[in-house]
Amino acid sequence: MRTARRVTLPAAAAVLAALAASTLLTGCGGDASGAQPSRVSEVAPLGTVPPQVGGAGKQAPVPQPAGLPGVGPRTLAGIPADAQQAVLVTGAGRDATTAKVTLFRHDPEAGWVPAGPVWTAHNAAHGWTADHHTGDLRSPVGVFGLTDAGGRLADPGTRLTYDHAPIGFTVHGTGVDGEPLRGAFDYVIAINYNRQPGTSPRDWTRPLGQSRGGGIWLHVDHGGPTEGCVSLPPEAMRTLLRDLDPARHPVVVMGDAASLAR
């Protein structure tokens, strides 16, 4: 009968050492240096989108709503919170007589976006001022409501209150440069500078006093500078009258480019 072979303590230690070495060489994700195995990363559930990151692991910037082009923070602060339409009138310079006009609408996510073409317009003969007075031949700078309209011609389909007065809006004579004014008030939109909103553009109530001027309108262009109004081509006036919606609380943002940028 064969006898069992006795294993001595040194031999048992050698076997254990060999098994340990084998484990280090073949362990899950480990290496011979004894480094700990790495964890298996979790798998995101189907349909989820990992957050986008920019350089150096930073979160990608969130796009900000667009402001009105060329309009600075002080001017933007003057736009009422409920205004969702803005007619932007940007004068070529403080003493210039021409301007660019565009209608914008406010989108809750995108911000202010164009809602029409860019039109060329005339403003007052001496340019712009933040302190308008009667006879200064400057258009007032600021943000003003647009609530009331009218004209010599019939309502073209506006949602603003419209005073159709063929005689009341008839104008004769010539403009600052001697051009005829005939047809200038075929369509008008009252700018709520020193006037009582909710009344006809022909109402001459002046809450700030007569010396501060008034009767500042958007009206049909007559081919030259105005005494304080902003004048646009007839098709532009018809477009504005049809597009402006009192439920969207439209305003006009007007002034020379440098003033608007503040």
What digits encode the pLDDT tens for the residues 1-27?
444 444 444 444 443 344 334 433 333
pLDDT digits (tens, 9 = 90+) for 118-152: 999 999 999 999 999 999 999 999 999 999 999 99
Residue 44 lies in a domain: no
Query: Is 30 inside any structural domain?
Result: no
What is residue 60's predicted lDDT score, i.e. its pLDDT? Answer: 66
pLDDT above 80 for 254: yes
Would you say residue 178 lies in a domain?
yes
More confident residue, 149 or 54: 149
Q: How far apart are CA 156 and CA 38, in angstroms?
A: 74
Of 152, 121, 92, 87, nearest to 235 by C-alpha is 121
- Whether 62 is covered by a domain: the verdict is no
Whether residue 248 is contained in a domain is answered as yes
The reply to whether 207 falls in a domain is yes
Residue 216 has pLDDT above 80, yes or no: yes
Contacts of 211 by beta carbon, 8 Å cutoff, 6+ apart:
133, 134
Q: Is 232 inside a domain boundary?
A: yes
The confidence band for 63, taking pLDDT boundaries of 50, 70 and 90, is confident
Range of the domain at 93: 73-260
pTM of the predicted model as reported, rounded to 2 decimal places: 0.77
- The total domain count for the chain is 1
Q: Are strands 217-220 and 148-151 parallel, antiparallel or unpaired?
A: unpaired
Residue 28 lies in a domain: no
Q: Measure the CA angle with vertex 73, ends 69 and 75; round to 5°.
A: 75
pLDDT band of residue 64 (cuts 50, 70, 90) is confident
Q: Read off the tokens for 19.
A: 């098994």
**Average pLDDT value for residue range 172-190:** 97
> What is the reported pLDDT for 230?
98
